[in-house]
Structure 1
């Protein structure tokens, strides 16, 4: 890397580290709400607003984060054009750029069009970083790192999550909780034009649109009107709803369990990622590999920080192959990976198998009196079979028979078939030791062609 490139990278990172809310140059500045000389709060007229931590606040809510999104788009372009590794680009987005919007999504009103425009740019860039064609599904972008994704979320859906988080924290606050519920009741009564019961509050928060709630609202847009709409939208994806506590206070439930303010955001994000994982697995082609790799976390270690990879060159093959999409419009990746397991590539398959076996042997620390045999025939057997790994302890009367398998990740059934095949293959050797009074474990260590690992 030459000096000019290095300096450019450092400058990009410095700018990301020092991201601040930009000045709202396109909004008319109001007089300070405090008179510095008298210390008296001014009354804001209808249509006026003041800025609270960069969020316009007033009787009629002004649009928020327009300039923030412009700045975020500029930084997205800089990250996209940089020489950072793909995992570093995603880390920069998740750590420095996307959090700039969090406060606005919780406390302001951000236009959905602006969010969608930024989301399109982010989704297109994310697919490029993963070397995915634009026609590929976007679900891998929205899975967690442990599932083999990169921890993003659609911006409009993220806005709904933040609305629910803000609502829960207001209602559960030890300082403003009672006040928040009182204001919520006033909003509901203005909607249904009668005294609101506790059940009416949860119906309103759940976005009910029939009966007394079918009438056109005469209220101004506020945190509670936005919360009801956000709940209604997000319920189409995850099992979340508002209910009443024993003391008839509104509470948010996820899959039937009540959420505390300290855990609500994490729980909602995890549930939404699981929604995208299930949606991906339902796809007949693009979900077959992720059905395996999203189950066990060890194969996805490099997605977050590039561990055990020299330059993340594995990603340009892994991601397209995992989604079973062609990278250049030619032959399907699935067929390429299947041909990898044919006799023409037997030497490469053998090297991979032996590398996995060598790593297992290296990690093994046998107890005293234990005999370890690698790829050797078993004494007393004349079948010529050579288990990959045979660990025998005569004193403890224990025996472990392990065979390494590297099948292609063609749904999880392929891993189960490989495991059952190996158990059957060495079953009579296990019986041989059992007849001698040994406690025997016979199983397979499965590491797929694309790095998927059998959790068994």
Structure 2
């Protein structure tokens, strides 16, 4: 194959840089599996890799008995995140930069590497702390707000473990449903062999889906000698996601078709992704994860109260992506207010701290009391009311009629003075 490649490259006038190439020759029948065979490309020797030696391929260390966690790549991503944090960008611009430049880098690494859990959790923790800092939230605030989409009121930053599991599951499903029959048959046979190694007998199609669904019932739970493969990784990823969104693999005997069942959160409807919609699996799994984070946050009795309303309409969260019509003072307040994390006496749940209002002495100093009931702030209420009123007046088109503000309705005996009256 190398000779044929050399002839084709010579004919096209291309030259390979042998110094940037590496060869890995493994013979499983020998005690020393890695062979130091000398390969050449266009007459120049290619560096042979020894056992434990790695080649940096697409940001991932590749070799025999080599840990694939790309520590150098992850460290560079974290350094870039620190530079974004130290920059003079606005908070929403920092979140946008993170989602635009760094999250795709991490997703790319996760697609091509078997990243260990510990360094991935470290990355997730650091990014989570940075995003909370940019949202001006205390670290005790709910993590779900970091992961929820912009249109529902979150920062739209994925949890690092989710893209890894979704990428493995999607890759396995695409191989098993590939339009190319040769690729599809090779993948099916490899899955068949992995399942046979697990249960110790020739498996049926139903057995392979049970294996992929990470079942530990009966013979699937028996301890056997096994090696890591794409299919075992897909099974493990299914176990991790299945605990949270109850997703599983299914085989339809009637149609002789493989599918993935993804339940809808808080609904009896299920989405089944099959061969005809194979490109929808990744999007469906991501939507289910987002819905899980949303519902988890909504169910929290304290921090989920306001979120249950503000997540319903996109207009309530228009400022999250671009910071439009938003001052820094508004940004620093709104996220704390929505999660009830403003440092008020009534918002502190632990200890026996005095919860009385520091201004008027009311028994419970909550955000609602400060904004709507605390008399020393009555002037601020009026200014807040007038500011909203004036925004509405400016938004009314002149063609709709004559606008009157805080005046009695003309032609009536009523003494009431509505905030805004439009007369056509």
**Alignment TM-score, normalising by the size of structure 2:** 0.75
Task: Give matches, 1:43-58, under 5 Å.
Answer: 52-56=57-61
Contact 2:68-2:115 within 8 A present in 1 as well: yes
**Alignment partner of 1:277 is 2:294:** yes
Which region of structure 1 is more displaced relative to structure 2, 381-390 or 266-275? 381-390
Once the two structures are superposed, residues 275-322 of structure 1 have per-residue CA deviations (whole angstroms, 9 ceiling, x without a partner) of 112111222211112112111111211211111124x33221111111
Secondary structure of the residue aligned to 1:257 is strand
Change (3 A) 1:124 1:173: same
Q: Which residue of 2 aligns with 1:213?
A: 220
Deviation at 1:226, TM superposition (A): 0.8
Secondary structure of the residue aligned to 1:262 is helix
**Alignment partner of 1:385 is 2:416:** yes
**Alignment partner of 1:31 is 2:23:** yes
**Alignment partner of 1:86 is 2:91:** yes
Aligned partners of 1:145, 1:61: CA distance in 2, in Å? 39
Secondary structure of the residue aligned to 2:40 is coil
Change (3 A) 1:208 1:60: farther
Deviation at 1:140, TM superposition (A): 0.9
Secondary structure of the residue aligned to 1:68 is helix
Root-mean-square deviation (CA, aligned residues, Å) is: 3.2
Q: Which residue of 1 aligns with 2:167?
A: 162
Contact 2:59-2:73 within 8 A present in 1 as well: no
Q: Which residue of 1 aligns with 2:370?
A: 339
Aligned partners of 2:131, 2:112: CA distance in 1, in Å? 28
Query: How many residues matched?
Result: 362
Q: Which residue of 1 aligns with 2:15?
A: none
Aligned partners of 1:307, 1:144: CA distance in 2, in Å? 17
Deviation at 1:56, TM superposition (A): 4.5
Change (3 A) 1:216 1:204: same
Change (3 A) 1:243 1:57: farther
Change (3 A) 1:182 1:386: farther
Once the two structures are superposed, residues 224-279 of structure 1 have per-residue CA deviations (whole angstroms, 9 ceiling, x without a partner) of 10111111111222242211245423222222212334332233222212211211
Deviation at 1:150, TM superposition (A): 0.5
Aligned partners of 1:224, 1:40: CA distance in 2, in Å? 36
Change (3 A) 1:240 1:293: same
Unaligned runs of 5+ in 2: 1-20, 26-38, 264-269, 349-364
**Alignment TM-score, normalising by the size of structure 1:** 0.70
Change (3 A) 1:167 1:390: farther
Q: Which residue of 2 aligns with 1:233?
A: 240
- Of structures 1 and 2, the one scoring higher in RCO (CA 8 A, sep 6+) is 1
Q: Which residue of 2 aligns with 1:435?
A: none
Secondary structure of the residue aligned to 1:273 is helix
Secondary structure of the residue aligned to 2:261 is strand
Q: Which residue of 1 aligns with 2:271?
A: 257
Once the two structures are superposed, residues 89-116 of structure 1 have per-residue CA deviations (whole angstroms, 9 ceiling, x without a partner) of 1112111112112233223210000001
Deviation at 1:119, TM superposition (A): 1.3
Deviation at 1:161, TM superposition (A): 2.0
Contact 1:143-1:152 within 8 A present in 2 as well: yes
Contact 1:375-1:386 within 8 A present in 2 as well: yes
Secondary structure of the residue aligned to 1:242 is strand
Unaligned runs of 5+ in 1: 1-28, 394-456
Contact 1:148-1:300 within 8 A present in 2 as well: yes
Q: Which residue of 2 aligns with 1:127?
A: 132
Contact 1:198-1:249 within 8 A present in 2 as well: no
Once the two structures are superposed, residues 60-84 of structure 1 have per-residue CA deviations (whole angstroms, 9 ceiling, x without a partner) of 6732322211111212222222222
**Alignment partner of 1:180 is 2:187:** yes
Q: Which residue of 1 aligns with 2:361?
A: none
**Alignment partner of 1:291 is 2:298:** no
Q: Which residue of 1 aligns with 2:387?
A: 355
Q: Which residue of 2 aligns with 1:141?
A: 146
Q: Which residue of 1 aligns with 2:322?
A: 305
Q: Which residue of 2 aligns with 1:402?
A: none
Contact 2:53-2:66 within 8 A present in 1 as well: no
Which region of structure 1 is more displaced relative to structure 2, 64-73 or 258-267? 258-267
Once the two structures are superposed, residues 390-446 of structure 1 have per-residue CA deviations (whole angstroms, 9 ceiling, x without a partner) of 5566xxxxxxxxxxxxxxxxxxxxxxxxxxxxxxxxxxxxxxxxxxxxxxxxxxxxx
Contact 1:142-1:154 within 8 A present in 2 as well: yes
Aligned partners of 1:168, 1:366: CA distance in 2, in Å? 58
Change (3 A) 1:174 1:52: farther
Contact 1:61-1:221 within 8 A present in 2 as well: no
Change (3 A) 1:219 1:254: same
Q: Which residue of 2 aligns with 1:322?
A: 338
